[in-house]
A and B are shown apart, each in its own frame.
Chain A
C-alpha cells in the first residue's frame, strides 16, 4: 500500500468519523432544547421560546455562554487528572458509536450488495459497546478524586456504585439477545428480527427490554436515578467544574443517552425494519432514527414524571430485582431453546437456526 493509498484511506476514515460525530454533537445540543420544551409542555408552561424562532437558537446561546465562562481549576486539585476527567468521560461515549449500524444501503444502486452503514461492522459489536460504555466510570472517578474535595469524592463513589450495579443486569439482559440472535454482530442481530413487528425481540424478551432501558437510565444518570448529580446533593462528582469542562460532562451524558436509545431500538425494536413489511419502502435509517427519537422522548417523559429514587432503593432495584429477573429469564430462554416441543415456539425468533 503506497503513501497515497494510506492518505486516501485515512481521509475516508476521517470523513466516516465526522459523519457520525458531528450529527451526534448537534443532536446533543438540540436534545437539550427538545427536553426543555417537552418538560415545559408536560408541566403546562412554555419552556424556552425567546432566542430565535420558537427558541430554536437557545442551544447555541447556551453553548456560547458556557464557552465564554471562566474555567476554574481548584489550586489543590490534581491538575492533569482534573483536566483529563471530562475528556475521559466524553471519549468513550463517542467512540462507542463506531460500531452502531445506522441502516443498510446500496448507495442508490451503486453497489450490488447491501452494505451496513457503520464505521466498523465488528463481529463482537455488542461486546464492544458494553466494554466501551463501561469506561465512562473512569471519567467520573477521576473527576471526583482529582477535585480533592469531599463532596465530589462522595458523589463519585455513589455514581460508580450505581453504574457498576446496573451494568451487571444490563449485561445479563443482553445475554438473552445473544442467545436468540446467535451472534454478537449488531447487523446480524437486526437481520434476525426481519419480518415485521412480531419478529422483534421485544415480544419474547419484553422483561429484558424493560430491564435494559431502565438500567440505561441508571447508567446515564437520568432522572429516576439522577441522585449522583442532582443539585440538592451538591451536584455529585462535578461540583468543582465550571464552564466548558462542566458542559463536557453533560455532552457525554446526552451522547450516552442517544447510544442507549439507539441500542434499545437495534436490539429489541427491530433496528431499521418497519413494523409492517409493507412499510419497508421508507428508508431503514428513518425507521431507526424514528425509534431512537421516540425512546429519547421516553427518557424525557421519565424525567417529567418520576420522583427521584433514594440511594438504598436504587441499590435494591439493581441487585435484588433486576439481577434475579435477568438470570431467571436467561434460564427460561435456555430451557425454551433446548426442550423438544418448546423449541418450535422459540424458533420463530431464531430464523438462523
Chain B
C-alpha cells in the first residue's frame, strides 16, 4: 500500500520532470528538470532494493555528469528566434514518431502483460542482504574481463583528454612552490648601512 503510494509518487514525478525537460523554454530549466528526473529514477531504484544503483545514479549522473551539462548549457548562447525557425519543417517527422510511439504504448499497455495479476510480486530482501557486496563479487569474478576492458577504455579516454588539452607555453613564467617555500630571510633581505 505504502509502496504503491511511493511508486506512484516517484514514477509520476519523473514523468512530469521528463515532460518539463522537453517543454521548458529555458535550457537551464530543462537541465534542472533532468536532474529532478534522475532523482526520481534513483527513488525507483531504491524501491527495487537496488540501493547501490540508486545512490550511484545520484552520485554519477546528478553529482558529476549533470554538472558538466550545466556548465556547457551555461556557456551556450542560444538564439531563441532561430531555434523556432525550423519548427514546421520538422513537425511531420517528429509527429510521425510520436504517433507510432503512442500506438506502441497503447498496444503494450492493453496486451495483458501489465495487468495486476500478471506482475511478479517479489518479497523485499532483508537488510542483511547487501547488494553492494553482491555486485562487487559478481563484477570482479564473472565479469572481470569486461570490467577491465571498460577500465582501460576509460583510462585511454582520460589520457587522451589530457594530451589534447595540455599546452605548455615556453615563454610563460611558472611558479616553483618548493623554491618559494624554501626561501629564507637572508636570501631576500640585506642590511644597508645608511
Q: When the two chains form their complex, are residues B2 and A6 in contact, meaning their CB atoms are under 8 A apart?
A: yes
Q: Can you give 28 contacting A-B residue pairs, CB < 8 Å?
A: A1-B1, A9-B2, A81-B28, A84-B32, A121-B127, A123-B52, A123-B130, A123-B132, A124-B52, A124-B132, A127-B52, A130-B63, A131-B55, A131-B56, A131-B58, A131-B59, A131-B63, A134-B59, A138-B35, A141-B67, A142-B28, A145-B28, A145-B74, A167-B63, A185-B130, A312-B175, A313-B177, A316-B177
How many contacts between A and B, using CB within 8 angstroms? 70
Q: How far is the CA of A167 from the CA of B131 in the complex (A)?
A: 25
In the complex, chain B residues whose CB is within 8 Å of the CB of A124: 51-52, 55, 132
Known pairs A78-B26, A137-B67 / 6 extra A-B pairs, C-beta < 8 Å: A123-B51, A123-B127, A123-B132, A141-B70, A142-B28, A160-B71
In the complex, chain B residues whose CB is within 8 Å of the CB of A138: 32, 35, 67, 70
Q: When the two chains form their complex, are residues A122 and B58 in contact, meaning their CB atoms are under 8 A apart?
A: no
Q: When the two chains form their complex, are residues B2 and A1 in contact, meaning their CB atoms are under 8 A apart?
A: yes
In the complex, chain B residues whose CB is within 8 Å of the CB of A132: 58
Name the CB-closest residue of A to B177.
A316
Q: How far is the CA of A323 from the CA of B5 in the complex (A)?
A: 44
Q: When the two chains form their complex, are residues A130 and B51 in contact, meaning their CB atoms are under 8 A apart?
A: no
Q: How far is the CA of A167 from the CA of B63 in the complex (A)?
A: 10
Q: How far is the CA of A84 from the CA of B58 in the complex (A)?
A: 20
> Which residues in window 20-74 of B have CB below 8 A to A?
26, 28-29, 32, 35, 51-52, 55-56, 58-59, 62-64, 67, 70-71, 74
Q: When the two chains form their complex, are residues B67 and A127 in contact, meaning their CB atoms are under 8 A apart?
A: no
Q: When the two chains form their complex, are residues B127 and A164 in contact, meaning their CB atoms are under 8 A apart?
A: no
Tell which of A123, A127, A135, A164 touches B62, judged by Cβ atoms closer than 8 Å. Answer: A135
Name the CB-closest residue of A to B73.
A145
Q: B-side interface residues toward A, CB under 8 Å?
A: 1-2, 5, 26, 28-29, 32, 35, 51-52, 55-56, 58-59, 62-64, 67, 70-71, 74, 127, 130-132, 175, 177
In the complex, chain B residues whose CB is within 8 Å of the CB of A1: 1-2
B123 to chain A, nearest CB (A): 15
In the complex, chain A residues whose CB is within 8 Å of the CB of B71: 160
Q: How far is the CA of A130 from the CA of B67 in the complex (A)?
A: 15
Name the CB-closest residue of A to B59.
A131
A222 to chain B, nearest CB (A): 21
Q: How far is the CA of A141 from the CA of B70 in the complex (A)?
A: 8
In the complex, chain B residues whose CB is within 8 Å of the CB of A306: none
- A80 located at the interface, meaning its Cβ lies under 8 Å from any Cβ of chain B in the complex: yes
Name the CB-closest residue of A to B130.
A123
A149 to chain B, nearest CB (A): 14
Shortest Cβ-Cβ A-B pairs, 4 listed: A134-B63, A131-B59, A131-B58, A127-B55
Name the CB-closest residue of A to B129.
A123
- A128 located at the interface, meaning its Cβ lies under 8 Å from any Cβ of chain B in the complex: yes
Q: How far is the CA of A122 from the CA of B46 in the complex (A)?
A: 11
Q: When the two chains form their complex, are residues B2 and A127 in contact, meaning their CB atoms are under 8 A apart?
A: no
Q: How far is the CA of A130 from the CA of B56 in the complex (A)?
A: 10
> Which residues in window 1-47 of A have CB below 8 A to B?
1, 6, 9
A263 to chain B, nearest CB (A): 16
In the complex, chain A residues whose CB is within 8 Å of the CB of B51: 122-124
B165 to chain A, nearest CB (A): 14
Name the CB-closest residue of B to A2.
B1
> Which residues in window 50-105 of A have CB below 8 A to B?
78, 80-81, 84
Q: When the two chains form their complex, are residues B127 and A127 in contact, meaning their CB atoms are under 8 A apart?
A: no
Q: When the two chains form their complex, are residues B59 and A184 in contact, meaning their CB atoms are under 8 A apart?
A: no
In the complex, chain B residues whose CB is within 8 Å of the CB of A123: 51-52, 127, 130-132
In the complex, chain B residues whose CB is within 8 Å of the CB of A122: 51
Q: When the two chains form their complex, are residues B29 and A127 in contact, meaning their CB atoms are under 8 A apart?
A: no
